[in-house]
Chains A and B, each alone.
Chain A
């Protein structure tokens, strides 16, 4: 599934990730992918937010299978 579809679905669940080539096209070419989805964590994130990300990813899997 395409990273932008993943990003839009997670966004609908209130989970923000970055999607695209992250201004790093050489790495995308190296791994032969058009783009990726990237979740980043910081000191202010909570365990509940990690759980929300996991639930969001499960939802993405459900929508596309």
Chain B
């Protein structure tokens, strides 16, 4: 892609083509299913906590490139981190995607995940990028499943419909 502002940068396309940590875990201490009924995306996230640390994590499902790349990069980012560290990333990622923090001006821990900052300008795609993080949050809290359209979801973000 010629346009450097495009959401479809090489790192996102690469994670879409070759998703990391894709598949199921034989045993999981925490897991959840996430859906976006507006676009048909659904994915599951499973992980094993050893104490407070994420020892293993995997995801699988059917989704668009933005959602799959977000899930792939999420699993790569949180593996080996503690649950509070991962929860900080969940919050910061959501705030970046919904335009509540400016990653160029404010402190954060997102690192390479800032390639998704461009979704804030694409209201219909914000939920695609956030769905894996919603689902990780649901897994930590042992909610059986989550939806981007559920009003009582603690991660429900005040953004428009896709």
Contacts and interface: CB of A to CB of B under 8 A. Distances in A.
Interface of A: 1-5, 7-9, 12, 20-21, 28, 34-35, 63-64
Contacts of A2: 39, 63-65
Nearest to A11: B122
Nearest to B63: A2
Interface of B is mostly: loop
Contacts of A28: 40
Contacts of B13: 63-64
B24 to A, nearest CB: 21
Contacts of B25: none
Interface of B: 1, 3, 6-8, 13, 38-41, 62-66, 122, 124-125, 128, 162
28 contacts: A2-B39, A2-B63, A2-B65, A3-B64, A4-B39, A4-B66, A4-B124, A4-B125, A4-B128, A5-B64, A5-B66, A8-B7, A8-B66, A8-B124, A9-B8, A12-B3, A20-B38, A20-B39, A21-B40, A28-B40, A34-B40, A34-B41, A34-B62, A35-B40, A63-B1, A63-B8, A63-B13, A64-B13
A3 B64 CA distance: 8
A16 B138 CA distance: 35
Contact of A4 (B3, B6, B62, B64): B64
Contact of B122 (A8, A34, A35, A63): A8
B11 to A, nearest CB: 13
B4 to A, nearest CB: 12
Contacts of B125: 4, 8
A1 B17 CA distance: 11
A35 B39 contact: yes
Which 6 pairs across A and B sit closest by C-beta, in order of nearness? A34-B40, A2-B64, A5-B65, A4-B64, A5-B64, A35-B40
A37 to B, nearest CB: 11
A2 B124 CA distance: 14
Contacts of A4: 39, 64, 66, 124-125, 128
B93 to A, nearest CB: 19
A47 B68 CA distance: 36
